[in-house]
Each structure stands twice: as structure tokens, then as C-alpha cells.
Amino acid sequence: MSNRSIGLDERLHAWLLDHLPEEPPVLRRLREETARLPEAVMQIAPEQGRFMQWLIALMGARRILEIGTFTGYSALAMALALPREGRVVTCDLSEEWTRIARRFWREAGVEDRIELRLGLAIDTLRRIEADGTASFDLAFIDADKIGYVDYYEACLRLLRPGGVLLVDNVFWDGAVADPGNRDPDTLAIRAFCEHVQHDPRIDLSILPIADGLALIRKR
């Protein structure tokens, strides 16, 4: 729910951004355009995008799966970190938001690296799995919170051994730590965190970046 790392005041957040490599202008313009939307809190933080790019380079990732495109910032950040033959498959329901995404992907010259699949993400994941030919290096879940456990299970099946799954918003603006908060999305995120906490199929860490990022490695 936050577009900057939770717990950082404005001064420290500005210092952080000032000491990271400069955000590419196309990413900055996309972030600024997204900021004018009522749903702008769904945008990932720029420092999170930079971390995801670093992780892609570290892994030598070539195939990425994303659940939740929004206006395309995370897909664009990841595509920019890929080699020319790399691909991002990204899933969303909204034609309106993804029209913005396509425009910036085209401007950045990476539209051919990003495959957008419109429709219910769980149906898209089932089709990819049924096809039997896809194996992903990295997956990123940032979509409806009620679906997190189902998305997790599907992505885990589609990841190669040693692949990495990133799951956004696991702090939910701090609501997960408030036992009195019984909001459905908060309950869903708590259920997801409990689901993965002792899963023997994975290695888990949670990073206090942006609104909390679960970092999961498939064994």
C-alpha cells in the first residue's frame, strides 16, 4: 500500500534514492504518470524496482512471470534488466491500466520482451502449466491479496529448482501486525505468510523494502 519503504521518513527516503543509480528517465516518467491515478498506491517503489533488477542480474534470469501488471512499472524495470532474448510474461485484468504500460514499454524499446496476458491470472497460470513447456527463473506476485496462496502454488510449480519468487505487500502498511485488523485483505496476507513460513519446498526471507517483500527460493 506504500510506494516507498515502510518506516523511512521523507528525508531518509530521499537520501536512499539519491544514493542509488539514477532511475532511467522512461521509468521515472511512467512512475510520475501513474502517481496521478487514484490507484497510485499500487505502484511499486523505485528502490524495489532497482532491487529486482539487481536480483535478475545476479541470477542471470531469462524467463520471468509476473502476476499483476498495473501500469507496467515492474514489468518494464525487469525487462530492462534482461538480455535481449529474455522474456517477461505478465498477467492482468485491466485493459485501461495496461494501455499505459504498453505505451511505455514501446518507448523503452522492450515491448518485444514483454508478453501481456489479459484475463484472470489464475486461469492464465493454469493454461501455462497445462502447456507444459514453460519454466521460469523468477516470478513476482503483486495482485489481489485474496488470491495470493493460489498464485503462490501455481508459480511454485512453474519455477525451476533454484528459481526465486517475490511476493509484494506482505506488511500491508503495517496492518498484518495489528491483531485487531480483520480486513479480508489483511487476513489473506496473514494466511499467505503462515502458508509459506514452514513450507519445506522453499527457503524464505522477508525484506523490509517498500511494503514488505517476501523473498522465496524454490528448493
pLDDT at 17 over 80: yes
In whole angstroms, what separates CA 186 from the centre of its chain? 18
Q: Which CATH architecture has domain 10-218?
A: 3-Layer(aba) Sandwich (3.40)
pTM: 0.95
Read off the amino acid at residue 167: V
Q: What is the dihedral of CA 114, 17, 143, 178, to 10 degrees?
A: 170
Confidence of residue 148 (pLDDT cuts 50, 70, 90): very high
pLDDT mean over 142-156? 98
Position 65 confidence tier, pLDDT thresholds 50, 70, 90: very high
Q: What is the dihedral of CA 109, 112, 118, 123, to 10 degrees?
A: -140
Residue 38 has pLDDT above 60, yes or no: yes
Confidence at 139, pLDDT banded by 50, 70, 90: very high
The answer to whether 142 and 67 are in contact (CB under 8 A) is yes
pLDDT number for residue 158: 98
Query: Quick one: pLDDT band at residue 9, thresholds 50, 70, 90?
Result: confident
User: Taking 60 as the threshold, does the pLDDT of residue 205 lie above it?
Assistant: yes
Give the whole-number percent of the chain exceeding pLDDT 70: 97
Q: What number is the average pLDDT over the span 151-156?
A: 98
pLDDT reported for residue 6 = 64
Domain boundaries, given as residue ranges, for the chain: 10-218
pLDDT higher than threshold 70 for residue 55? yes
